[in-house]
Amino acid sequence: MFAEKLPEKLRPYSGVIYFMVVLVCAHFFWKITVRGDETDTIITFLGLNISGPFNFMAAHVANATTSVLQFWGYEIQEFNNNVLRHENGVAVRIVWSCTGLKQAYIFICLIAFYNGNLKKKFWYITGGLLVVYTVNILRISAITALVGAYPNQFELLHEYIFKYLFYIILFAMWVLWDEKIVKK
């Protein structure tokens, strides 16, 4: 139905266009409805306090990142307020926006609003959320590890390289859904 409304030249790209529309709509819906800055511990949705899950997940991500980095051989310590400090004194603070909850929400929207069997969507979303969670822990761990060696590169690593890598993984998961499950 969506593809039929597109000009003939764009129809082969209808799935990707649909992906982009859902991604942009979900992103802006989040930006409009969810409030809290990088240092806040108070997060609201349409004025309602939803801080609990975000603060819990920020602490969990900090703890999981510490475990991953220590497993990888890094000398890292976790302090109050989710601060992870390298032995050279360089520190990273894990805040509510590091939780991966926004990416999980976007992934759910991408699959829920696309074609496919409802039962398969449920199982794919469940499995996909495990992937999103794992990718987020590895993403935060990699950023924290690299910032220990390159403290001036936080902005590049966090805002550009790993953020867009995360969205590329979400796209790959959607392609897998579209090509291997929906069109099978």
Where would I find the beta strands (DSSP E) of the chain? 34-35, 44-45, 48-49, 76-79, 83-86, 91-93
Residue extents of the structural domains in the chain: 55-182
Residue whose C-alpha is closest to residue 58's, from 103, 93, 105, 32: 93
Task: Say yes or no to pLDDT of 38 above 80.
Answer: no
Q: Is the pLDDT of residue 106 over 70?
A: yes
Q: Which two tokens stand for residue 169?
A: 């993984």
Separation between Cα atoms, residue 162 and residue 136, nearest integer Å: 9
pLDDT of residue 96: 92
Who's near 25: CB < 8 A, 6+ residues apart? 109
* Tokens (6 digits) for 26: 């979900």
pLDDT of residue 2: 64
Mean pLDDT computed over every residue of the chain: 93
Give the tens place of pLDDT for each residue, 133-168: 999 999 999 999 999 999 999 999 999 999 999 999
| Tens-place pLDDT, residues 49-79 | 999 999 999 999 999 999 999 999 999 999 9
Bridge-based pairing of strands 76-79 and 48-49 is unpaired
Which bin fits 82, alpha (ψ -120 to 50), beta or left (φ > 0)? Answer: left
- Give the distance, in angstroms, between the CA of residue 128 and the centroid of all CA atoms in the same chain: 11
